[in-house]
Amino acid sequence: MVKYETKPIAPGFGVAISGLKIASGESDNLIAEIIQLWHDAGGIAVIHDQDLTSEQHIAFSRHFGPLFGDPLEEPLQSTVSRYIHPEYPEIYRVSNKVDNEGMPLGRKGAGTYWHSDVSFRERPAQASLLHGKQIPILGGDTLFADQARAYEALSKNMKVFCSSLFAWHDFEDAARSQYASTVVVEEDMAGGNRSLHPVVRTNPDTGRKSLFINPGFTSHIDGFTSEESESILAFLYGHCVKPEFVYRHTWREKDLVIWDNRSVMHYAVMDYSDDEPRYMERCTVIGERPT
Ligand code: OGA
Ligand code: MN
């Protein structure tokens, strides 16, 4: 029996786990326990003090499901290939660091807007597992917003209305018009990353419904005029990131943070300078088609 401690990190949202070393070869029971803790905590788990190699990170992540970038599965997004780890196609790197030739060691400014990872794909991400290998002394927090509670807090009528809607998620459209174009370069645009998803989806692992629209990648609600779509989205965006639904994670070096993109949005706060190196590695689990 492996002993570890758990502690809630926000009311009803998030669990911190310490005293556990993920190496590889964890028992099925332990893995099932961790995944259950994660679901029960609304899809956020922080596992502290993980000295993970990239291989161990990948092996652990595979217990959640198939990974983007696995040679037998689909790539993450053809246009981010230069941010993928050169030796491990399953690892996407987020960083402000560059190598000796000035090549980025990861995507700088990744996720500096509310989003759900790769929601523009037909099968968007389920879990993302982000390992904080180098953390600025100050700043560089990540915010998480619980979209199950955001849905549950709506009136009955608004729940019914939202459940009738479908929204387009379109990387290029959203990137060009809706957030800091400074963090997106032209090569990021190619590749038909566009999908239609229900605005309310049910997480098959928990049975809970959540809102599934995000300012990062959602371009518009299907079947409405742009004026109508903008009004609906403006209301929902104001609602879904209310402070009551948000947990702000201040990273410790070696944290492994796992979030469920089906019911959680996140936002990377880029308030640190380039003199403060930040280096993170992410494995991304391929989810099901939202329903
Ligand atoms: C991501 C992301 C958040 C961060 O890796 O998907 O959005 O704080 N990163 O780096
Ligand atoms: Mn992200």
Q: What is the pLDDT of residues 240-289, one digit of tens each?
A: 999 999 999 999 999 999 999 999 999 999 999 889 999 999 999 999 99
Given this model, what pLDDT does residue 1 score? Answer: 64
Element (H, E) at 200: strand 200-202
Given this model, what pLDDT does residue 185 score? Answer: 58
* Helix, strand, or coil (residue 202): strand
Ligand nearest to the backbone CA of 135? 1
Average pLDDT over residues 96-115: 89
Given this model, what pLDDT does residue 25 score? Answer: 77
Distance 110 CA to ligand 2 centre (A): 7
Given this model, what pLDDT does residue 176 score? Answer: 74
Residue 139: both structure tokens together: 């700043």
> In this predicted structure, which of 15-19, 26-30, 213-217, 279-283 has the lowest mean pLDDT?
26-30
pLDDT-derived band at 35 (thresholds 50, 70, 90) equals very high
Distance 157 CA to ligand 2 centre (A): 31
**Could you write out the three-class secondary structure of 73-134?**
CCCCCHHHHHHECCCCCCCEEEECCECCCCCECCECCCCCCCECCCCCCCCCEEEEEEEEEE
pLDDT-derived band at 178 (thresholds 50, 70, 90) equals low
> Is the separation of the CB atoms in 144 and 259 below 8 Å?
yes
> Is the separation of the CB atoms in 190 and 79 below 8 Å?
yes
Q: What is the mean pLDDT of the chain?
A: 92
- In terms of average pLDDT, the best of 75-89, 90-104, 154-168 is 154-168
* Helix, strand, or coil (residue 254): coil
Percent pLDDT > 90 in the chain is: 76
β partners of residue 67:
285
pLDDT-derived band at 23 (thresholds 50, 70, 90) equals confident
Structural domains in the chain, sorted by start:
1-291 (3.60.130.10)
Interstrand relation of 15-18 and 44-47 (parallel, antiparallel or unpaired): parallel
Given this model, what pLDDT does residue 58 score? Answer: 97
* Sheet with 264-268, side-by-side order of all strands: 246-249, 142-146, 264-268
Backbone φ and ψ of 163, nearest 5°:
-70, -15
Given this model, what pLDDT does residue 76 score? Answer: 77
Q: Which residues contact 231 (CB under 8 A, 6 or more apart)?
A: none
Residue nearest to atom 2 of ligand 1 (CA): 111
Separation CA 61–CA 67 (nearest Å): 8
Q: Is the per-residue pLDDT at 186 higher than 70?
A: no
Nearest 10 degrees: Cα torsion 179, 185, 187, 189: 10
Q: Which atom of ligand 1 is nearest to the CA of 141?
A: 8
Pocket of ligand 1 (CB under 6 A): 94, 110-111, 117, 128, 130, 142, 266, 268, 280, 282
